[in-house]
Amino acid sequence: MAIEGSGPAPGSAPAPTRLLFLGDIVGRVTRRALRERLRAVRRELDVHFVVANGENAAGGHGIDPDSTEELLDAGVDVLTTGNHVWKFPAIVDVLDRESRLLRPLNFPADNPGRGWTVQPARDGARIGVLNLIGRAFMGPADCPFRAADEILAGVGADVDAIFVDMHAETTSEKGAMGWHLAGRVAAVVGSHTHVQTADERVLPGGTAFLTDAGMCGPMDSVIGMRREEVLRRFLSQRPERFEVARGRVVLQGAIVEIERGTGRARAIRRWREEWEG
């Protein structure tokens, strides 16, 4: 269903930039769903810019060159990642040459790739996208709070709005980042847990926040993986090889409306659609 009020009335303020963030994309079946649906979704929702977390796009863990190309061709403007970004060695060259594919900024600075990019939206706005990773239960990384501060200190007037993907395990660390950046970015939306939360709001200063956007992946699964292997692991406590589930797919994310001129969020709402294939 399209959002009403997509065009400005005579003499009114410009229509807002609409940004869609898609939660963690899981596996080939979900890439197919996005290939078939994303361009239509952009039209139906009047979306000007799409950010998607792609770190589980290839086989449920990691992202490879083919899945990167497929998702960008499907209509994603910027791909963010997280702790699984290094699984496929071939992605290193892509990270170095493709400015629309990010890895977490606060990984050590000598790692390949970048954690920040500025790309044009379809309405002409220049959107900065910042990819951060949390430290709680996530392994070694530099401080995401200070890393964000350093980037924001150097942002120039050529950036109209900034979106932040906070890829983290704990709700507290994501919430803390929202408050840390309140009034300085258009939106902070979390990823990684594959479970969509219901706490969307606009923080003081015009920063949209949602703890987790959820996932784009198979519905009848355990966070995208086949139920059988996951259950065996819980019951036996032995290692199991997980595979991406099949069947119907849920697409989840958040739509942020950003005021032109101020770069502040006007509204945020959760988004969800099922795809039967």
Please write the tens of the pLDDT for every residue from 216-225: 999 999 999 9
The reported pLDDT for the residue numbered 12 is 65
Confidence of residue 109 (pLDDT cuts 50, 70, 90): confident
Confidence of residue 70 (pLDDT cuts 50, 70, 90): very high
Identify whether 7 is part of a domain: no
What value does the mean pLDDT take over residues 232-250?
93
Tokens of 26: 């899981």
Angstrom distance (rounded) from CA 78 to CA 21: 10
Identify whether 45 is part of a domain: yes
Q: What is the CATH number of the domain that holds 170?
A: 3.60.21.10
Whether pLDDT at 9 is above 90: no
Mean pLDDT score of the chain: 94
The reported pLDDT for the residue numbered 277 is 67
Identify whether 3 is part of a domain: no
Whether pLDDT at 6 is above 60: no
Q: Is 183 helix (H, G, I), strand (E, B) or coil?
A: coil
The set of long-range contacts for 234-239, using a CB threshold of 8 Å and a minimum separation of 24, is: none
Identify whether 8 is part of a domain: no
Identify whether 11 is part of a domain: no
Whether pLDDT at 272 is above 50: yes
With b for 16 or more beta-carbon neighbours within 10 A and e for fewer, the 174-191 pattern comes to bbbbbebbbebbbbbbbb
The reported pLDDT for the residue numbered 14 is 84
> In sequence order, what are the residues at sequence separation of 6 or more whose Cβ sits closer than 8 angstroms to the Cβ of residue 148?
105, 130, 132, 164, 177, 180, 181
Query: Into how many domains does the chain fold?
Result: 1
Query: What range defines the domain where residue 236 resides?
Result: 17-275
Confidence of residue 5 (pLDDT cuts 50, 70, 90): very low
The reported pLDDT for the residue numbered 7 is 41
Please write the tens of the pLDDT for every residue from 20-68: 999 999 999 999 999 999 999 999 999 999 999 999 999 999 999 999 9
The reported pLDDT for the residue numbered 4 is 31
Identify whether 6 is part of a domain: no
The reported pLDDT for the residue numbered 91 is 98
Identify whether 254 is part of a domain: yes
Confidence of residue 83 (pLDDT cuts 50, 70, 90): very high
Please write the tens of the pLDDT for every residue from 121-164: 999 999 999 999 999 999 899 999 999 999 999 999 899 999 99
The reported pLDDT for the residue numbered 55 is 96
Q: Which residues belong to the active site?
A: 84
Identify whether 225 is part of a domain: yes
